[in-house]
Structure formats: structure tokens, C-alpha cells
Structure 1
């Protein structure tokens, strides 16, 4: 039976937008729907005082994959922003990731050998060969001082649980550099799209029919009937009516403030490690694009327990949740007319370049290329 669309894409984040773009290039007719009042998912930017505000938290594009880098550069020029966050702990600022600047700030060490010796001595004293929780894992990787100043309280705020109650696998490794290099990512390509991420989304979805403020689940039967196939990027457990239980997430709350100053903190990202500070970081958005506006916009980021009416940001990939997801994944594999993709549908933490890569892989599979 002839239907109105070849593909219904539920969700206009990077996965849905890339798939819609590629399918349209191949002559397919797509409809993109999104329950929010804007397109772009979590990469959406809102212009405030001439500043591109990352509405759903800091998004810094970074990749080693030249193909992915060239792909996004079709839609926007990227600046040379390098992510170099700082962390405030007990009244003192530290550079991140852990590097020679951090070690000097902690101990006054000036050479790589001095720093090595300090860390190795603490690992020997406080570490264990078989870490059973995140605290033991961190102590075994970097020792007591780095753990207590820069990991413990921040991580407990982020996850809402004590580090002794968190699984060790959350930090399989910790980046430790014995150079004076504050570049958070090791990736060859890094930057922010000039003019914000909306440029990329608008480029991907150009000439594609899109509808916002549409909740797929409120009129599911209708939307399923108008397209031959569905690309679903929402929560996989919701797709299956929570038949085998509800998957868990961590959520975030953002508080924005416009300040009558041209420079609040001198950096795009400053982490607040201390437990008594309720937010994990402050983002000053203008620094992502080297702005010189007379005002500035800051965002305080508060981690929260997730409930169904909140946004789901981070999957909690512990054993219990993973077992539930595995059941849903097997159910999904049996449905021929639906493609599942993205952070929520795959119950997996993805960086932006990984989501784009996943979408392109699904395109190749779908069109047998």
C-alpha cells in the first residue's frame, strides 16, 4: 500500500536529523517530528543577548575521525575552540584534565618524575588490585590527593550516590598527563560551529518536512500508518510500553542568568567540586565562540534524580538496567519496520561524533551500501 512518507523520524536530534538528511538525498520522503518546541534535540542553541546558549548543557565537538569531521563541516564552519575546563575545590582552582599544571597546584611538583613518584606512592598506599567500587578504582588509578580534591565530591553530586556505592567500571581509566597540556580532549579535530549548532541541524533538515510540539505516543497509531518505516530515537522502554520495566537515567536542571558584565569567569567551563555547592559546573557560553558582547550568559548545571516528567540525560548502565535493556533490544531486533538509534533508543552514552557515525552506519545498512 502506498503511504504518504517513506520514513517517519521520531526525534530531531543528531541521529534523526542525519538519517533524514541521508534518506532524502537518496530520494526518500521523510517526516521529522519532535515533542519539543524546537528542532535539534540536545544540541539546540538559543540566542540570548547575541550569545549562542547551549540550552541542554555544554556541547564541544571533538573527533579523530576525518570522515565525520568533513561531514559536519558541510553545514557549518568550526572555530578553533579547545576545551580546557578548570575545577574549584576547597577554594583553589585546578586545571583539567590531570596534568603537570594540576600536580603543581596540588603538590608544587615541577618535573614529571616528581609527579610520577607522588602518584605511585599514593597508589601503593591506598590502591587495591581488585577494586570493588568507584572509590577503590580511583584510588588505584591516581591515589588519594587527586581523588579527594577532584573526583570524590564531584562524582557523588553527579550520580547522587556515594562513590563507595558506584560500580568501579564507571571510571575504567582516568586521563593523567605528565605534560603542561590543558586540552581536555586528545582528538585531532575539535571546535564549536560558528553561529551555533542550529546551523548544522538546519543544514541537515533543509527542505525536509518537520513538525514540533508533536508527541508520537499521543497519536501513535496515526503516525505509524503514514510511513513505511519509523526511525525511533526516543526511550526504547517507552516504545515497548515499559513491558519489562522502566530504565533509569540521571537528569539535569539548568539555571540561566544574564549578567551585566563582559566576562564572569574567564573560561567556558568551571567545575564546582565541593559537596556543599549544589551545582556541578557553571558554563559561560560566550567563551565557546570567543564572544566580545557587553553582557554574558551563565548556566548553572544541577544533577538530579530522573523521573518520567524530566529529561533523560545519562543512562545508568549498571547490571540491573543493562539486563532490562538487553530484553528490549532483542524485541527491537524483531521489528522489521522500525530503526532504533541514538542515546535513548540504544541506552548508551554517546558523544556527538559517535551519534553521527552510528546514524551513517544505519543509513548504509538500510540502503545496503
Structure 2
């Protein structure tokens, strides 16, 4: 196939490979492929990878190639219209943008406007619906009478007193009880956690539940960040605009490990794929949780009245149901159909999409060994590791973007402008 010049971007297919085309089209395996023509190669087109690519192209005037294993842009943030209803669906689970980082907020607003959506979550337990996180409404409803903030604090403190020293809570169950007391913990956390992690809560680290707020007022916003909303035209439109710089090319359906030998030695790489995969699992496989999704189009206008409903009881096999029409009430969606997606959690195998690092003590020991290998790779071969998969940590979208901006400032700018190596202390 001949090279095709383009001032914009479009999707094409060449053989079994699809490409998101920048100003030049170069099919993999064609004699016209010239990886030496790129100043930087980014592996992965999620928020971390695209932020790096966009900043390097825009501010440093460098040519960047992004390699994406999947057949679409955007990693787990990818969204698309469900064909029967036109309702925008987040294919890898609900993605809610929120941040208190002003720099990140100003950066993302270059590429999209945001709605005023504020996320709220509810939980079904024994046929009753409660707001989440635990707040004064949930506490009062659960105990069957209105409690003032002071009464609720006193009641929770009494019920949590079986954990003598909350700071010494050794596991998820102890920490949860120290936060909300045993009755609320058993109702809303024990079963949900057990099916989310397929692990006894007494064997999980306390940090999993420590980040859930408990509120003694009626605030039922899920997030407390300064800025919150959803991209007006959807995540894919936002991501395409980030990738729209004429010096950025994105190749879809292209596995880095299939083409890495074609990359000239010394070409700088930002790798956002699985850390253990890069090193051929030499230090062992890092454990992840994955998610399965069951999508259904229903012949009704509204299934559950809200965007996300959790199911607290362990006997219900799924953890939550998403109804995506509620993310964009401003849109003209059909009134006689809706899309619901049930979410199931399980341990990931090597063929699954990883979502949440399990982070057992064994995982952390392997991670330290991989980090040492990554430091050597940066110093010796100009490879940087970033993003959720590349660092083995859970990152919200704003955290991934913020981390990418820091890498740009601290590593990529010195590399391209001052001839620093990636291994330099800067």
C-alpha cells in the first residue's frame, strides 16, 4: 500500500493492521517504514502515553510515533456509541474525570469542554438503596431513625471501639470496622470486598478501605475534588484531539514486541505497557484483578434511575451495574431503550486486560526487582516506564496525566534540550 498524506486523522486498515493516521501513513512491514524518522516512540495510547506524545510534539517540535496494541485509541478510557441506542458507553467500565490539580485541569481543557456532571453512587443492600460513600443519610437510614451528626459520630465510635488502636489496623476488615463499626462494615463492605477481590477481607491490606471517606453530613458527592465533569463529546473525541498534532502518528493493532527489533538502537522510548511483560516476566508475574462486562439493551427508557448502582451482598455475582444514559442527561437519547452493563471482578491471567494491581507482599518484592531493571533500562537504553501498567499502580486519569506531565518536565525536556540521559538525576 502506498503512503497516504493526510492533514487530519482517519482510521484505515491494511491487512490485519489498523492505523490511526496522522500526516503520514506507513503500514507495518512495508518498505516505506522508517522508524529512524521518529524522535520518540511511545508504547500505549492511554492518557499517560498521549499526554507525553502531545507535549513532546507541541512544545519540543519532535516527531512522535505511538504504538497501540488494541484496535482503538485511548486504552481503558475508550468510549463509543452503542449501535442500537446511540448511547455512549465506556467499554472498560465507567470513567469519571475529577481532579484538584489546576495544572492538569487547565491542560485537559485544551482538548475538551466538560459537562457539570457530579458522580453519585448508590448501593443496594437487602432490598434497600443507600448512598455511597457512607454519609449521615446512609447511617440514619440503616439504623432506622434520624441521627444528628453528633449522635452518628458517637454511635459509630461505640461500634468501632472493638478496634482499640485504629492506626494499628492490620487488614481490610479491621480498618473498615475502625472507620464505620461492625454493623455498617458487615452490610456494605464485607460482601462487596469479598467478591471484588475474591479474597477474605482479613487477608487484604488496610489501605484498600482507608481511602473511602465517611461523612457525618448529607453530602453524597462521590468525589471531593475541585474540578469534575465528563467530556462533552465523549472520551474518544477528547483522545483523538490529543493525538491530532501533525507530528504525532498513532499505529493501532500494533504490538510493540512485534516491532521492537525494527527500532534503531538508542531511540528514546516511553513504555506504558505491563512492566513484567517488558522484561519477559524475568522476576515473576505481577498479580492483577480484571473485569468482565455483560452488556444488555433493554426496551425501557430507564432501568435504575442512576449511573452506577453497587450490589453489596456477596450472593449477587456482579459488583455493580452501569447505566450510561445517566452520565449525559443533556443528550437526546432514546426514551424507549437503555443500555446496562453488569460488572464482574476476578483474578486476571496473562491473556486478560489488567485493571487493579493486587499488590501482595510477593508482588511488592517482585516490583522492587523490576524497578531496578527499569532504572538500568533507562540509563542504558533510553527507555522510560510510566502509566498504570508500566509502574504497577492504580492511577486515576488525572493522576496518569499529572505523572506524564512530570515525566515531560523532569526527563524528556532535559533529554531533548540539554542532552541529559534518562538515567540522569534531574
TM-score, normalised with respect to structure 2: 0.83
1:110 and 2:147 are equivalent in the alignment:
yes
Give the Å deviation of 1:105: 1.3
Give the Å deviation of 1:260: 1.7
1:340 and 2:376 are equivalent in the alignment:
no
Give the Å deviation of 1:66: 1.4
Alignment correspondent of 2:310: 271
- Contact persistence 1:9–1:30 (CA under 8 A): yes
- Contact persistence 2:272–2:387 (CA under 8 A): yes
Q: Distance in 1 between matches of 2:174 and 2:62?
A: 52
1:11 and 2:44 are equivalent in the alignment:
yes
Alignment correspondent of 1:319: 361
Q: Distance in 2 between matches of 1:41 and 1:203?
A: 15
1:202-241 residue pairs with structure 2 within 5 A?
202-206=240-244, 207=246, 208-222=248-262, 224-225=263-264, 228-241=267-280
Alignment correspondent of 2:78: 44
Aligned-residue RMSD, C-alpha: 1.7
DSSP-derived class of the 1:363 partner: helix
Q: Distance in 2 between matches of 1:126 and 1:145?
A: 14
Q: Distance in 1 between matches of 2:118 and 2:383?
A: 38
DSSP-derived class of the 1:121 partner: helix
- Contact persistence 1:8–1:227 (CA under 8 A): no
1:42-81 residue pairs with structure 2 within 5 A?
42-48=76-82, 49-81=85-117
Give the Å deviation of 1:126: 5.5
Q: How many residues align?
A: 368
Alignment correspondent of 2:158: 121
**What is the CA deviation profile of residues 136-169 of structure 1, one whole-angstrom value per residue up to 9, with x for unaligned ones?**
1111121012101111100111111011121223
DSSP-derived class of the 1:9 partner: strand
Rg bigger for which structure? 2
**What is the CA deviation profile of residues 277-329 of structure 1, one whole-angstrom value per residue up to 9, with x for unaligned ones?**
11100011111111442221111110011100100100112221011011111
DSSP-derived class of the 2:388 partner: coil
Q: Distance in 2 between matches of 1:3 and 1:226?
A: 9
Alignment correspondent of 2:181: 143
Give the one of 339, 347, 351 matched to 1:309. 351
Q: Distance in 1 between matches of 2:400 and 2:202?
A: 31
Alignment correspondent of 1:251: 290
DSSP-derived class of the 1:161 partner: coil
- Contact persistence 1:262–1:292 (CA under 8 A): no
Of residues 262-271 and 108-117 in structure 1, the stretch that sits farther from structure 2 once superposed is: 108-117
- Contact persistence 1:156–1:162 (CA under 8 A): yes
- Contact persistence 2:163–2:169 (CA under 8 A): no
Compared CA separation, residues 211 and 30, structure 1 to 2 (3 A):
same
Gaps of 5+ in 1: none
Q: Which one scores higher on RCO, CA 8 angstroms, separation ≥ 6?
A: 1
1:174 and 2:212 are equivalent in the alignment:
yes
Give the one of 202, 206, 230 matched to 1:164. 202
Q: Distance in 2 between matches of 1:68 and 1:60?
A: 15
Compared CA separation, residues 173 and 235, structure 1 to 2 (3 A):
closer
Q: Distance in 2 between matches of 1:131 and 1:326?
A: 25
Q: Distance in 1 between matches of 2:54 and 2:264?
A: 22
- Contact persistence 1:5–1:227 (CA under 8 A): no
1:260 and 2:299 are equivalent in the alignment:
yes
**What is the CA deviation profile of residues 324-350 of structure 1, one whole-angstrom value per residue up to 9, with x for unaligned ones?**
011111111122311111001010110
TM-score, normalised with respect to structure 1: 0.96
Alignment correspondent of 1:350: 395
Alignment correspondent of 2:321: 282
Of residues 329-338 and 340-349 in structure 1, the stretch that sits farther from structure 2 once superposed is: 329-338
Q: Distance in 2 between matches of 1:215 and 1:65?
A: 33
